[in-house]
Amino acid sequence: MIVMGIESSCDETGVGIVDWDGEGVTLLADEVASSVDEHARYGGVVPEVASRAHLQAIVPTMTRAREAAGIDRPDAIAVTIGPGLAGALLVGVAAAKAYALAWDVPLYAVNHLGGHIAADTLEHGPMPPAVALLVSGGHTHLLGVENLSQPIVEMGTTVDDAAGEAFDKVARLLDLGYPGGPALDAIARDGDPEAIAFPRGMTGPRDAPYDFSFSGLKTAVARHVEKRVRAGLPVSVPNVAASFQEAVADVLTAKALRACADRGVDTLVLGGGATANSRIRSLAIERTAAAGIDLRVPKPRLCTDNGVMVASLGAHVIAGGAPPSPLTVATDPGMSV
């Protein structure tokens, strides 16, 4: 069964194609057009710019994916209906409906967050019961997965900024450009992660065990910089970056490990663009190894938004016997898992 996945929830227009052989998925095509450069001068994703870029990119990206896979049409289409930017989602969903109707193939509406988890199966094969930690510019979630064809359980999420968003905002404060996560990661290599004791948000005994908060941390970084500047003292950008990064990685991985223990699973899956962060990765490796937990981290290309993750989730959902979605299915920008 050949499944096409369409993704347009943020600034990436993704069309992926997979082959489901009854047990797992094989990647046939993974085409992505990104509008990230168009957003850079605004310092963040501009929804209207993203929607227009999707409109221009969607048909050529579909064509490239079909050519790469060497197919005329798939057996089914899966599309992200949420969560994401309302106007951006509409473009992918409208395209999915149009092609499903024209080709007379079933349409499956899927959740973007589930897609991030399903991306891992393209690299590491079928997934055992697991906890997934998703960290990107738009999301920070701890999710419980029994089986990819079953509903995913939301264990916790951020109460304010997403982790990647915190990286981008702190990078902006330190004048490192946009998106600042990779630049901050690079400069942190020259810093001391213990130089400044930044707060670990939501880790008190009364705090929700799987929820996150990064806005207090971002403010603490701003206060630290302001205070030094006002006192005429130098600011060590590498030390600030390393200490901030350490605080984020510490909280993310500690809560993910606790979620694995509480759910009684021995697999942790990472997903989302911010899992490219070197400290999040190294601390996750250290802590899962110490706890005897199997860590699955897909390559960066599969961690960021793409269509093939949507195709993979679609294949699992179809194989689980879910009925197709009606062609009237709506987008759901605020969709939970």
Binding site for Zn ion (CB under 5 A): 136, 305
The listed partner (ligand KG4, Zn ion, none) that binds 137, CB under 5 to 8 Å by sort, is: ligand KG4
Instruction: Closer to ligand KG4 by CB, 18 or 171: give it.
Output: 171
**The token pair that represents 142 in the structure block:** 């701890």
> Hey, is 2 helix, strand or coil?
strand
For helices 278-291 and 237-263, what crossing angle results, to 10°? 40
**Is residue 58 within 8 Å of 92, Cβ to Cβ?**
yes
Q: Going by C-beta distance under 8 Å and a sequence separation of 6 or more, which residues neighbour residue 241?
A: 170, 174, 176, 184, 187, 188, 191
For residue 177, say whether it is annotated as part of any ligand binding site.
no
Instruction: Closer to ligand KG4 by CB, 107 or 132: give it.
Output: 132
Quote the least distance from Cβ 318 to Zn ion, whole Å.
Answer: 21
For residue 116, say whether it is annotated as part of any ligand binding site.
yes
Within 10 A of 167 (CB to CB), how many other CB atoms are there? 31
For helices 237-263 and 163-173, what crossing angle results, to 10°? 170
For residue 239, say whether it is annotated as part of any ligand binding site.
no
Positions touching ligand KG4 (CB under 6 A) are 10, 136-138, 164-165, 167-168, 179-182, 185, 272-274, 276-277, 304-305
The listed partner (ligand KG4, Zn ion, none) that binds 187, CB under 5 to 8 Å by sort, is: none
Quote the least distance from Cβ 186 to ligand KG4, whole Å.
Answer: 8
Quote the least distance from Cβ 323 to ligand KG4, whole Å.
Answer: 29
Query: Residue 19 to residues 34, 221, 240: CA-CA distances in angstroms?
Result: 24, 47, 46
The listed partner (Zn ion, ligand KG4, none) that binds 191, CB under 5 to 8 Å by sort, is: none
Quote the least distance from Cβ 252 to Zn ion, whole Å.
Answer: 16
Instruction: Closer to ligand KG4 by CB, 24 or 138: give it.
Output: 138
Quote the least distance from Cβ 10 to ligand KG4, whole Å.
Answer: 5
Instruction: Closer to ligand KG4 by CB, 200 or 281: give it.
Output: 281
- Burial code (b: 16+ CB inside 10 Å, e: under 16) for 224-235 equals bbeeeeeeeeee
The listed partner (ligand KG4, Zn ion, none) that binds 246, CB under 5 to 8 Å by sort, is: none
The listed partner (Zn ion, ligand KG4, none) that binds 179, CB under 5 to 8 Å by sort, is: ligand KG4
Instruction: Closer to Zn ion by CB, 165 or 305: give it.
Output: 305
Quote the least distance from Cβ 261 to Zn ion, whole Å.
Answer: 26
DSSP assignment of 70-120 = T-S--SEEEEEEESS-HHHHHHHHHHHHHHHHHHT--EEEEEHHHHHHHTT
285: amino acid identity, one letter: I
Strand arrangement of the beta sheet that strand 130-135 belongs to: 153-157, 140-145, 130-135, 267-271, 294-296
**Is residue 4 within 8 Å of 78, Cβ to Cβ?**
yes
For residue 136, say whether it is annotated as part of any ligand binding site.
yes
Question: Binding site residues for substrate, as ranges?
Answer: 134-138, 168, 181, 185, 277
Question: Binding site residues for Fe cation, as ranges?
Answer: 112, 116, 305
